[in-house]
Amino acid sequence: GREHNNPKQIYLEQGLFEVKSTIVSRTEGDVEKLTTLITGKGQIKISELLIKEFEAVV
């Protein structure tokens, strides 16, 4: 359900992603909202993977 878009623990431990938690006040009560952020290290890793993938295709 609500955690379908969160990164796996191994990627969090590697420092590729961060998860930011915010509390949203609603009339039914407070709800925790999670936002996934990519770190600089994660951006480098993804760009390296994309370059490697597309060099193999070309």
Q: Residue 58's pLDDT is what?
A: 57
Q: List, in order, residues 6 or more apart from 4 with CB less than 8 Å away.
A: none
pTM of the complete model: 0.73
Q: List, in order, residues 6 or more apart from 6 with CB less than 8 Å away.
A: 19, 34, 36
Q: Residues 18-45: pLDDT tens digits? A: 999 999 999 999 999 889 999 999 999 9
Taking the domains of the chain in order of start, what are their residue ranges? 9-57
- How far is residue 11 CA from its own chain's centroid? 8
How large is the average pLDDT for residues 3-12? 86
